[in-house]
A and B are shown apart, each in its own frame.
Chain A
Amino acid sequence: GENVEQHPSTLSVQEGDSAVIKCTYSDSASNYFPWYKQELGKGPQLIIDIRSNVGEKKDQRIAVTLNKTAKHFSLHITETQPEDSAVYFCAAIQGAQKLVFGQGTRLTINP
């Protein structure tokens, strides 16, 4: 089955700087890669996603890149703000919609 590895487990950046979180996956059949932001006591919130036929996708300060050959994808947050502080999860999904999550990254934005 699919296995998703996520790094780093914790990340602390200064407000205004960029943050990058990386994930690798094992199953080349995976075709959808969502990223979630989870705040304390809440369910995961989908922030951006990318499909296997696309190499990069951007939405304002958030971007995701996908390298199918290397089987890794990354989340990039630019101009970070305090409200970006949260736990971020990457995931990979195959056709049967079974999501496999990374271990999570606790992002802290320092004012």
Chain B
Amino acid sequence: GAVVSQHPSWVICKSGTSVKIECRSLDFQATTMFWYRQFPKQSLMLMATSNEGSKATYEQGVEKDKFLINHASLTLSTLTVTSAHPEDSSFYICRPGQGLVTEAFFGQGTRLTVV
């Protein structure tokens, strides 16, 4: 399966600060990156989809100005949670995609805690 590296695995930040999460696709070129959020004891919910070199598409209810996604290369995408608040505390997970390849592998996830 695909090798996906996500960092950091966990982060604690103060309210009002910003946090950047990185997702690297180590063994294939990720033309697409999917970012998910998972609250405790809930399923994964897609937040946004980005294609390399273009703007991300956000799911309904997800604030694009709060969750900034950069997908400048085929191996790296970043999610920045801006002006974080306690309600942003969650588990964030990336999933790279490539063209017609349908196998879906995830990063290890980032546990964000905003205090």
Contact = CB atoms under 8 A, between A and B. Distances in A.
A62 to B, nearest CB: 15
Nearest to A94: B102
Interface in B4-61: 6, 32, 34, 42-46, 49
A64 interface: no
Interface residues of B, number: 23
B44 A44 contact: yes
Contact of B93 (A31, A44, A46, A49): A44
Contacts of B105: 46
Interface of A: 31-32, 34, 36, 41-46, 49, 51, 89, 91, 93, 95, 97-99, 101-104
Interface stretch (B69-77, B80-88, B106-114): B106-114
Contacts of B45: 101
B43 A32 contact: no
Contacts, number: 55
A99 B107 CA distance: 15
Contact of B6 (A34, A43, A103): A43
Contacts of A36: 106
B104 A98 contact: no
Nearest to B95: A99
Given A44-B44, A103-B43, A97 B108 contact: no
